[in-house]
Amino acid sequence: MQNIYNLTLKDLENYFVEQGDKKFRGTQVFEWLYRKKVKSFKEMTNLKKELLEKFEQNFEMKTIQITKVERDIDVEKYLFELKDHEKVEAVLMNHDYGNSVCISTQVGCNMGCKFCESGRLKKIRNLETHEMIEQILTIEEECGKRISHVVVMGIGEPFDNYDNLVRFIEIINNDHGIALGSRHITVSTCGVVPKIIEFSNLPYQVNLAISLHAPNNELRNQIMPINKAYPLEILIDTLKKYIEKTNRRVTFEYILLKDVNDQKQQAKELAELVRGMNCYINLIPYNETNNIAFKRSKQETILEFYDILKKNRINVTIRREFGSKISAACGQLRSKKEDEDEIILHDRHRES
């Protein structure tokens, strides 16, 4: 059965035309779903009864369920169970400019970044468009707040699920739906060059962020296997063309790992790497996990790294930290839940 949240406005318009009905019915249904946020087709009171009955036979609505929530100051982390019992995460962050949700795009990830908790589980499958949409709608319903910004930076590599990602953007950006402005949507990639090129051809003014985390090929090869396929010189050249074509600024994310990529010389290399580009660097203090050996850089090291970039006239910020008292790292809440389930199964087996 098809999920109704997989359909774009154009899909819904075509559906009604094919049914011998009026095209504008698609807009009506779209607005019921995303503006009025109905929980059943029966609530769509301006549609005919027989039409609603056909909808119920051919489409389903929300399928994901919240199984766990962890809360800290200005942040809530949600663990979702999908229809097939797989699990993904999303994070709600309360900023002074609005409420931002970071969503997942895959169950697991094949990119293999050494410092990433979510990458410890290889990709099981892509999320469908509706499963990305439902993360937003479910959190809005749970917290009672309107989501004003979406960051596609959770579990998975978004450009490894490109078609569903593009449909997701089309739906949440539509004025008849969630109506999120393009500049309120950010997509993060570890550097899938062919998809960056394809992404530059989209009509949306969506923000692009690059998970960089190293200023040279030798180090990036060690901690980010994607660099072996698309080394820095190719990635940077592609991004320069992306910026020229779209006239949009690119964000470089740089997680600071103690004694790995946080040295003064590496800050100077990073400044040289991005010099002259319309970009800024987002320095990210590392969230340590029990399963990965990397450690967070010392605060004075982070500030020294920042100062070197500033002195080299590079636009740079240090990301505000969220969730220091919860499972803050991407994939950590899901991983913790899996560990708990494994312990329970082990105990049951021992008792039997």
Catalytic residue ranges: 89, 330
Cβ–Cβ < 8 Å for 172, 181: no
- 199 CB-near residues (< 8 Å, 6+ apart): 159, 187, 206, 208, 242
Sign of the CA dihedral with 188 first, then 192, 198, and 200 last: positive
CB 296: neighbour CB atoms within 10 A?
A: 16
- Secondary structure of residue 46 in the 3-state scheme: coil
Q: How far apart are CA 314 and CA 303, in angstroms?
A: 14
Give the C-alpha distances (Å, rounded to integers) separating 14 from 11, 43, 165, 176.
Answer: 5, 22, 21, 16
Secondary structure element (H or E) that encloses residue 133, with its range? helix 129-143
| Residues in CB range of 15: below 8 A, 6 or more apart | 7, 26
Q: Which of 215, 217, 317 lies closest to 275, judged by CA?
A: 215
What is the C-alpha to C-alpha distance for residues 25 and 134, in angstroms, rounded to an integer? 22
Contacts of 11 (CB under 8 A, 6+ apart): 26
Tell me the DSSP string of 148-165.
-EEEE-SSS-GGGGHHHH
The answer to whether the CB of 329 falls within 8 A of the CB of 289 is yes
* 3 state SS of 278: coil
Q: Are 181 and 162 in contact (CB under 8 A)?
A: no
CA 59 to chain centre: 26
Alpha-carbon torsion (118, 155, 302, 94), positive or negative: negative
